[in-house]
Every structure is written in C-alpha cells, then in structure tokens.
A and B are shown apart, each in its own frame.
Chain A
Amino acid sequence: MTGLYRPRRAAEWATCAVAVLLVLLGLPLLIMGAELALLGGSFYYVLAGAAIIAGGVLMLMGSVSGALLYLLAWLLTWPWALWEVGFDGWGLLPRLLGPTLIAVLVVLTIPVLRRAQKTSLVRKGIA
C-alpha cells in the first residue's frame, strides 16, 4: 500500500475518477465548512468534508477502507439530516440526494478496490 495505485482497466479508471470526485467535492465542504464552524455554525460540513477527502485519498491509494469511510460518513449523514429538518422533504433534498447518488458510485468501486488491494498484497508477498 505504498503510493498511488496505477489503474489499468476501465473499472479501475472509473474507480479512480470516483476517488478524485470525492476529493474535489470534499474540498469546498472542508474549506467553507471550517469557516462556518468558526462563525458558530454547524460542524457537520467540515467533518464531512474531512471524511470525504480522506476517503477519496485512501481510494486513490487503492484501499477499500476509503470507500468504507465515505459510506460511513454517508450513513451518519442520515440521522444528522433528520435531526436538523425532520421528515421535511424539501429540507432533506440537499442533505441526502447528492450524497446518496455518490454512495451508489462508491459502492460500485468496492469490488474493484478489493481486487486491487489483493493484487497489491500478492505483489508485496512475492517481493
């Protein structure tokens, strides 16, 4: 698990793209979220941003734990969203719709990451 893993097949390229997407989406959450927290606002965004970026970076390194970290953040978003707005559909929309669509993509990367992790371990074993 040293350095970035090198994508070879289409599925691996797609996984890589999802990981990059996570980092790109996580950055504004982290930066604006930090300012929000400093101004006395919600801590959710800075924490979510950090988790998503970490997840993306781990995925780029070929680790399945990156995907699992995103999914954990996504799962925890649900009780937070319900705590903030209850069962108000319009209120839940921005909090859950996008993250859930991305969760689907992330779930799809898990088998690819598993395989990558295995080959990398095998390679390490040989070396």
Chain B
Amino acid sequence: MSRRDLSAATSLCGLLLLSSVAGIAPARAQSAYQPAPPGPGEADAPGKAGNKFAGPSPFAPQAPGVNAANIPDGPPAEPGEVTPAVEQIGSHPAHGDWPAYGRDTDATRYSPLEQITPANVGQLTRAFVYHTGSKPAPGQVNKWAAETTPIKVGDGLYMCSAMNDIMKLDPATGKEIWRHDAGVKYASIPYTAACKGVVYYTSSTVPEGEPCHNRILEGTLDMRLIEVDADTGKLCEGFGYHGQVNLMKGMGESVPGFVSMTAPPPIVNGAIVVNHEVLDGQRRWAPSGVIRGYDAETGKFLWAWDVNRPDAHGEPAEGQHYSRGTPNSWATMTGDDALGLVYVPTGNSAADYYSAMRSPEENKVSSAIVALDVKTGSPRWVFQTVHKDVWDYDIGSQPTMIDFPGQDGPVPALVVPTKRGQTFVLDRRDGKPLLPVEERPAPTDTDVEGDPRSPTQPWSVGMPRLGLPDLKESDMWGMSPIDQLFCRLKFRRAKYEGEFTAPSVGKPWIEYPGYNGGSDWGSMAYDPRTGVLIANWNVTPMYDQLVTRKKADELGLMPLDDPNFKPGGGGAEGNGAMADTPYGIVVSPFWNQYTHMMCNKPPYGMITAIDMHTRKVLWQHPLGSARANGPWGIPTYLPLTIGTPNNGGPVVTAGGVVFVAATTDNMLHAFDAKTGKELWNDVLPGGGQATPMTYEHKGRQYVAIMAGGHHFMMTPVSDALVVYALPENK
C-alpha cells in the first residue's frame, strides 16, 4: 500500500469515527459516493427537503409523467410464451421495397434497384420534400437530430418524426396519408430527439383485410411501444393497453428523459426485442439497461435479460426494479429468425469513464455483442469488443448479417462495426471470430485509484482497420502557426499513449479514436452480390479528464434527476456528473475551443470499400467537403473535399451507386461503388445526419434522405425529408 493509500484510509477512518461520535452522518456532497445501489429509504427522494441532494432512492415511486401515457401496469408478469408468428416481409423484401431500417432483416442497406446508375445519377432532381413538423420551438434548446430512415412497403412510405409522430406518405408525392400523433413531450428528450425508424409487422392472428393485419410499430423517447394500423394509423386495440405498452414498468425511480428509445426494435420470431438508451454520465445507479421481449401480437411481456439478475427473466416483484446502472444498449439490434437470436450491441455500465464499481457480470457483457435467445432472454454467446471500457466505446452500429465465404461454403456471419474502427466478423451460431482476433497489450498507467485497466484489448487483425495512425505533435493543425501551436501545446499537456490511453485525474487524456467512431450508429452497407462492404467513419479524437467530486460540484455538474438540474447543462456527449462515483467527467472534442477547429489535421471523416472475399480495401478517401465548415463555425464555401465528421450510414444499390449523406457539409453524396469516385451531390436544407434509403414506386426509383440536422454535429436543424428521382420524361 502506498503512502497515499494509507493516508486516504486513515482519513476515512477518522471521518467515520467523527461522525459516529457526533451521532450524525457526514454532510453528503451533492452527488456523494454510493458504492452500492441505495436500498429503500437510504437516499433522498427527489424534492425531499434537505440542504444537500444525495440522489433519489431507486425504490421511490415514479413521478407523474414517467409513465408517459398513464398506462395501467397490472401485477408483475412471469416469463411468457410468444404468439406463433408468420413470416415477416423484412426477411423477403419485394424488389422495390425497403421494409426495414437496414432495408432487410440482415441489415444490408443494399437495394437491388438499378434504374439509377453511375451514368445517370448526375441527373437526379428533387421529386418532393416532406416536412415532418418536428423541430425546436422558439426558446427551446435545440436537442434535435431526427436520424430517421423511412421504410417503404407497397403503397406506403412509413416514417416517424424526431418526436415520434408516425406518418404514412404517398411514395410518389410525399402527400401525408395519415399521421399518428404520439404526444411526446419536450422533457422526454434524453440527449437527442431522434427516431431512427419504424417497424412493419404483419399479424398472425388478425386476418387480411381487417384493421391491424399489417401494423407499424415504434418505440418512443418516453418509453412506450406503439402499434398502429398500417392503413389508417389508428392504434391497434389488441396490442398492450389500447395499442401501447409502458416500458417504464419495473424500471424503478426515474425522471423523463433519463431512459428512452431511439432505435427501431426488431421483431424476431414474434418477439419484439426492446433496448433503450440510458442517458450517459448521470449517475452510477441510473435506471437499468435491461433488454426485454414483448409479444408483437399482444404486447404481452415475454422475458427480461437483466445483467445483475441473470436467472430472473420475469418482471421484478412489486416494489422492486431491474438492476441499476447495468450496460445499456441504444444501437439498432439485428434479429436472426433462423437461429432464434437477437444480436444486442451493448454499451457501458452507467458512469462510463469509471469502472471500479462494476460487477463481474457487467464487465463480461459491456461493449459487446450479446446473442440472446428470443424465446427465453438468455444469452447464448457474448463477444466483447472492449474490456472494461472507460472510453464510451459502446457499440453504436447495427451489426450486419452476411454469408461469409468459408472453406466449406458460406458461414452465417455477423459483421460488427465498432467505434474503435475495428470490424469484427463473427460466426452467428457461436460468436466465435471467423477472422483472427488478437489480444494486444494496452496502456495500463493510470492515476485513478482502485480502477486498474485491462492489460490487453481485442484487435480484429483480419479486417482493414478503419482508422489513421496514432497522433503525433506534428499532426496538430490550425489556420496559422499560433493556433496550431495552441493545439500542439494541448497535445503535449495531455496524457496520450495511443489507443486505450487510460483515464486520468491529474491531467487531460486524449481519447483516440473518439467516441464518435470509427463507426457510429450509421452502420455499414453490404452488397451480397459482389461481397463489397461500404463503411463511412470518423477521425475525431476527444479530450477528456476525470475531475474530483469537489471540482465537479464547482463546475455545476449534476445528474438530470437533481432538482437543480438545468437542461443543456450536461448530456451523453459532454461533461457528466457521474454521481455516486468519486469522479465527474469533462469531455470535449480535441479542438481549439476558441476557433472550434479540430486540433488534428484533416481528414475528419472517411469512406472505405472492402472486398469481403479478400478483406482488401478497394477504395478509400476523405468524405465530405469544407463548404459548410470553418473557423468560428463560419462556412468557407470551399468546394474542397477535406473529410468531415459524419453520422449516418451508407446505402449501396445494384445500379452500382453508393449514397451517403452524414457529413457536416449538409450534402447528399453519390459515389461509384466500383471506384469510389464522387458522381453527384446536392445541398440539403439541413444536416443529413441519417441513413438514406431507396425504393421503387410505379416504375420509378427514388432516393430519400432525412435532412434533420444534428445538434452535436452543429449542422442546421430542419424537418425536411428530401426525396430524389430521375426526371420523369427520361
């Protein structure tokens, strides 16, 4: 034991002694250290009088508004049996349809349409622009980033607005056929008002021609499942409580905006698999990251997978709740009907940057792919991409299912993109890597006491790395020697030992790759005919520092369930109180905070095509132009391809065109899938931080992109869905 440890221990003893002598508990700091989840009555309920706020008890009753639609819950449910399902359209999409978020249940983002080709893509014009009506009202902090990819089935284009209203549009004109108002309130926005997409479901019990034979399902920001009739938009009475399910049941104490759904839940063999985002950086004992199954037909609870209650698959008993602070999964999951599995991309336990308070069970399944049996909710296998993650390297991408060319024929494989830019290729049957994965030594030097790092981390050495070499001082950038020097100094002042540099309290550390990726939620596109994988990715380091509780209090960092919390004061991607732990976290992009230019030299975003037969890079180049970016956020209008940060995935078509928006130049780009040459682009009315999609209607191919913008990417917010097609008289 070092002298420092000893003195800390003695002072702790002294404190305890003092308080016991005085017969009073030591005055609790705003977000006092809580080594275990508070039991009933151990912590202050919100609003309870007292000079210091120690966090609400998870056992406290949920405040009004947490169960957003006031849906009566009934008694805790036992694990249930699913209603037998019929085959869903996502597993055999019609030629011109895009029936699921990732186009099909394999999540390939590949369309067999070939009307638009490299030869004619330059003639694309706007067919229509549809306005969802969802954007910040005057006076509201902009938390918008719609991130929506519509789906198209038959005669309907179905989508959700950033605030979860569901719409059916005419695929040719964008005329609104119906709209379901979800009634989500501003307070329910977690970090971002996003709705990545809706799910198309065909009933096994309601005959064709009757209402709710075909349904549209969505998960909402305020934690509801909603099913409406695909033809009319009316709630399906037979599902849940008059068409809705309350997902806050069993979650324990929470406040609006703490947990929310932003990704479309897959339906696997009749089970809706539900994950949710838990707002990062708030407190160690945040609400649970439990994964649950619900019957797609009836909305009935089927099972739960709760990391710290591994053998309990039912709902928690009355007055109990799912285990607090467990790893949450906010990415879009992929369902595998044939194997009866759902692949859950997990994130970190709550309090992302401090791992000393995590259970061994949590350490096994965080920042991993967990394959859950959709009948029981039990994990069949786990593959971890980061050990003891303290870098917010949660998996944001939806994994893609492919037939991997093996020695004895195709192997059912899962391609797992990560924020690290490591792409893992796994056997879907057992989670074993199909391409070599090496455990390589990782930096372990840290001044965070009692929180040792993993000595090794996994590297997917059989796949091209989506990343650039480690940073050097001479990579620092700017407009002039002075601001460049400022960044060189920032670089030298920080701790940096390459990837996995361990967190530090004494000085900032550089996190590179940053938590925006590599690959983030945009995911990848895969052309199964050619075996070509398309990926766009980021080169955006972060500048992080752990701060003591005292400093965190001085900085005013507090969790959103604190009565003094002000919206906009913290969030998933910024500074966080990490209440209940000894530290808060200060996070910013590794940039010049005065000019808002990144400290590293360009590119900040790239796009890569990989041949999965040979695992060789076919082409790779910077993605995005400098036109809308510049110092102090002033657009330069330079038509130079610099490579910008990007959020949103690619689409690849049989016509040989790759469509991707994502970049901060607010453009939709089209590339030649063979050569990577940029063929066409168009400036959007807002940031194109969403994955585009393409469909055919009455013989005409359309390309749609939600130009909703992204508040963190600082791109303009809009409510416009922009849809392109070739001129009609061609």
Contact = CB atoms under 8 A, between A and B. Distances in A.
Contacts of A33: 485
A29 B481 contact: yes
B481 A84 contact: no
B483 A85 contact: no
A40 B492 contact: yes
B482 interface: yes
Contacts of A95: 481, 484
Interface in B476-498: 477-486, 488-489, 491-493
Contacts of A41: 473, 488-489, 491-492
Contacts of B642: 90
A94 B474 contact: no
A3 interface: no
A16 B360 CA distance: 69
Contacts of A84: 474
Contacts of A28: 482, 485
A32 interface: yes
B489 A94 contact: no
A98 B631 CA distance: 15
B601 interface: yes
B602 interface: yes
Interface string B67-87: 000000000000000000000
B484 A94 contact: yes
B486 A32 contact: yes
B482 to A, nearest CB: 5
**Residues of B in contact with A, size category:** 20 to 34
B483 A94 contact: yes
Interface in A87-120: 88, 90-91, 93-95, 97-99
Nearest to A95: B481
Contacts of B489: 32, 35-36, 39, 41
A53 to B, nearest CB: 13
Interface residues of A, number: 24
A121 interface: no
Contacts of B474: 42, 84-85, 91
Contacts of A85: 474
Does more than half of chain A's interface fall in helix, strand or loop, or is it mixed?
Answer: helix
Contacts of A70: none
Interface string A28-53: 11001101100111100100100000
A88 B486 CA distance: 21
A58 B488 CA distance: 29
A28 B328 CA distance: 46
A59 to B, nearest CB: 19
A17 interface: no
A25 interface: yes
B636 to A, nearest CB: 12
A88 B601 CA distance: 10
A54 B252 CA distance: 68
Given A90-B602, A94-B477, A39 B492 contact: yes
Nearest to B477: A94
A123 B488 CA distance: 48
Contacts of B473: 41-42
Contacts of A94: 477-481, 483-484
Interface string B445-476: 00000000000000000000000000001100
A104 B488 CA distance: 27
Contacts of B479: 93-94, 97-98
Which has the most chain B C-beta neighbours within 10 Å: A32, A35, A90? A90
Nearest to A38: B492
Interface string B481-523: 1111110110111000000000000000000000000000000
A14 to B, nearest CB: 21
B45 to A, nearest CB: 49
Contacts of A35: 489
B484 to A, nearest CB: 4
A65 B468 CA distance: 45
B180 to A, nearest CB: 48
Contacts of A29: 481-482, 485
Nearest to A52: B481
A99 B482 CA distance: 10
Nearest to B472: A84
Which has the most chain B C-beta neighbours within 10 Å: A40, A42, A88, A97? A42
A32 B480 CA distance: 14
A36 B480 contact: no
Which has the most chain A C-beta neighbours within 10 Å: B480, B493, B601, B602? B480
A90 B474 CA distance: 12
A83 B473 CA distance: 14
Contacts of A99: 481
B23 to A, nearest CB: 51
Given A42-B473, A42-B474, A98 B488 contact: no
A39 B479 CA distance: 23
Nearest to A96: B481
Given A90-B601, A90-B642, A91-B601, A32 B485 contact: yes
A84 to B, nearest CB: 5
Contacts of B486: 32
Contacts of B480: 94, 97-98
A25 B601 contact: no
A42 B478 contact: no
A91 B603 CA distance: 11
Contacts of A98: 479-482
Which has the most chain A C-beta neighbours within 10 Å: B474, B485, B486, B488? B485
A41 B485 CA distance: 10
Interface string B682-704: 00000000000000000000000
A9 B122 CA distance: 59
A37 to B, nearest CB: 10
A32 B488 CA distance: 9
B637 to A, nearest CB: 17
A38 B476 CA distance: 18
A25 B484 CA distance: 13
A39 B493 contact: yes
Interface string B581-612: 00000000000000000000110000000000
Contacts of B477: 90-91, 94
A102 to B, nearest CB: 10
B482 A25 contact: yes
B98 to A, nearest CB: 38
Nearest to B486: A32
23 contacts: A25-B482, A28-B485, A29-B485, A32-B489, A39-B489, A40-B492, A41-B489, A41-B491, A41-B492, A45-B488, A90-B477, A90-B601, A90-B602, A90-B642, A93-B479, A94-B477, A94-B478, A94-B480, A94-B483, A94-B484, A98-B480, A98-B481, A98-B482
Interface of A: 25, 28-29, 32-33, 35-36, 39-42, 45, 48, 84-85, 88, 90-91, 93-95, 97-99
Given A90-B642, A94-B484, 9 more contacts: A29-B481, A32-B486, A36-B489, A36-B492, A39-B492, A41-B488, A42-B473, A91-B477, A94-B479
10 A-B pairs with the lowest CB-CB distances in the bound complex, closest first: A98-B480, A39-B492, A94-B484, A94-B478, A41-B492, A84-B474, A45-B485, A32-B485, A90-B602, A28-B482
